């Protein structure tokens, strides 16, 4: 009886030793694998890190000890880290979990449909502001009038602010003042004063009337003095 018990205990002991050894081997392998993976792969907690001029994320899941790196180098590209899928909105931008950024095309992303502006040109009536003749109503022209600036006017009467040429006050014609030409009296002709006589004559009283005579010989009616 004691012999059977002894053999059973030995058998149980061998089983326990083998079990403990197997557990130790598995634990060692798992420990070595975890240390090697953690030493070579770092996902930076799934945050963006610089990869040249672009941003990158790294996925350390799977059998690869150095993980998988995804670089955001083009719009619409996707990558993963952990159990999350990320989207690249465009070169130089950060990876994002907003996957709608990858459903937009590169040509329309961030764009809007803006209306085409309609050019505005003013049209002014008589005496209205203008820059060219095109700003004036039909038939009128753009001129500069001191006190008004550039305004639209009727070309038939620029000075009229109403554009009605029939109501325009005609510009009066200025008649020049005639130059009076004084005709002086000659010899023996009547006069009032000496300036009324020609040069060299003097206005003197002859027979009760004033006449022009030679001042050197006022007694001669011929005005010719002889020695």
d(CA 143, CA 132): 9
Q: For residue 197, with 0-12 CB atoms within 10 Å meaning exposed, 13-18 middle and 19 or more buried, which class applies? A: buried
More confident residue, 81 or 174: 81
The dihedral over CA atoms of 188, 193, 199, 205, expressed in degrees to the nearest 10, equals 30
Give the chain's radius of gyration (CA, Å): 62
Q: Which residues contact 216 (CB under 8 A, 6 or more apart)?
A: 225
Output DSSP code: residue 152: E
Nearest to 184 by CA among 156, 212, 151, 158: 212
Instruction: State yes or no: pLDDT of 110 exceeds 60.
Output: no
pLDDT tens per residue, range 201-217:
999 988 888 889 988 88
Longest Cα–Cα distance of the chain, Å, equals: 212
More confident residue, 25 or 150: 150
Q: Domain locations in the chain? A: 44-102, 120-162, 185-227
Q: Of 5-14, 36-45, 102-111, which range is least confident?
A: 102-111
Please give the model's pTM, rounded to 2 decimal places.
Answer: 0.32
d(CA 199, CA 221): 16
Instruction: State yes or no: pLDDT of 72 exceeds 90.
Output: yes
């Amino acid at each position: 009886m004691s012999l059977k018990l002894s053999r059973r205990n030995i058998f149980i002991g061998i089983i326990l030793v083998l079990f403990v050894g197997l557990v130790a081997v598995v634990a060692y392998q798992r420990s070595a694998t975890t240390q090697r993976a953690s030493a070579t792969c770092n996902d930076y907690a799934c945050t963006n890190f610089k990869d040249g001029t672009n941003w990158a994320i790294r996925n350390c899941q799977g059998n690869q000890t150095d993980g998988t790196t995804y670089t955001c180098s083009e719009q619409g590209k996707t990558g993963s880290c952990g159990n999350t899928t990320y989207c690249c909105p465009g070169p130089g931008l950060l990876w994002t979990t907003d996957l709608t950024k990858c459903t937009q095309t590169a040509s329309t992303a961030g764009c809007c449909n803006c209306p085409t502006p309609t050019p505005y040109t003013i049209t002014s009536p008589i005496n209205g502001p203008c820059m060219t003749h095109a700003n004036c109503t039909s038939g009128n022209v753009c001129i500069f009038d001191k006190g008004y600036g550039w305004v639209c006017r009727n070309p038939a009467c620029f000075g009229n602010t109403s554009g009605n040429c029939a109501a325009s006050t005609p510009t009066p014609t200025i008649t020049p003042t005639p130059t009076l030409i004084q005709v002086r009296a000659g010899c023996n002709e009547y006069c009032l004063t000496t300036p009324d006589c020609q040069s060299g004559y003097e206005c003197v009283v002859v027979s009760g009337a004033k006449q022009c005579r030679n001042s050197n010989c006022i007694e001669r009616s011929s005005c010719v003095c002889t020695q």
